[in-house]
Amino acid sequence: MKIATKRRPGRPVHAEGNADTRSRIIDAAVLCFGRSGFAEATNRAIARQADVTSASLYHYFDSKAALYRAALREVNAALVEAYRAACREAPDASSMEQLSLGLEKVIELSRRRPGLVRFASDSASEIERNADLDWLDETDAAAFPDFFRDLLKRAHQRGELARGIDIETAVKVLLACVTGLAALHGSLRDEQEFAAVLRTFEQLLQGGFAQ
């Protein structure tokens, strides 16, 4: 990932509380973009949600598109870390159990940060409509595929993967599954129903659909 070497004019580098304020703005952006979409969400509404002035928001992000990209990068990282944390916390669990534990962390994250899953699932269509929202660099783009690839390689090494399963194809299948599950979020009544959907998928992963 490339690191910028120049700071934007007006952005306070050492001001007290910068990290906290930036984090509040990101959380507010995730909520507002998830609820209203990129076109309808305004910087004024995001600033109000974050309890900062619009002028303060521009100290951190010089445009709404820049804020969207930063929010999406942070959300992507948070979701991948949820899965990886589950693997670290249960190193002796089977790979499918680890994946299920990761889904439980996603449920927790979705409850703790309203709008996060809806925001993430809508991002592909938002980027199609607004090319300046395209935020992916190689590291960001590879984060989820790399996690699933690592998980499946471990499953293969431990003899957990069925014979004949191609790892790269299985990575694509898991990506499609989690993307589709996230897309369901906006059509469900509440976080409780979303949790029920993810837990049903957990049963499927662990062979719980069969009698």
Domain range summary for the chain, segments of one domain joined by +:
18-205
- Which of the two residues, 13 and 116, has the higher pLDDT score? 116
Radius of gyration of the chain (CA): 19
* DSSP run (H or E) holding 189: none
User: Residue 52 region, left (φ>0) first, then alpha (ψ -120 to 50), else beta?
Assistant: beta
When the pLDDT of each residue in the chain is averaged and rounded to a whole number, the result is 89
Paired tokens of 181: 């599950």
pLDDT band, residue 211 (cuts 50/70/90): low
The whole-number pLDDT of residue 136 equals: 67
Give the H/E segment covering residue 42. none
From the centroid of its chain, how far is CA 121? Answer: 8
Residue with the bigger pLDDT between 109 and 131: it is: 109
Amino acid type, 79: L
CATH 1.10.3720.10 fits 18-205, yes or no: no
Taking only the tens place, the pLDDT of each residue in 79-108 is 999 999 999 999 999 999 999 999 999 999
Could you tell me which of 17, 107, 8, 113 has the C-alpha nearest to residue 71?
113
Strand, coil or helix: what is 125?
helix
Full-model pTM: 0.86
pLDDT tens by residue, 7-30: 343 344 334 458 899 999 999 999
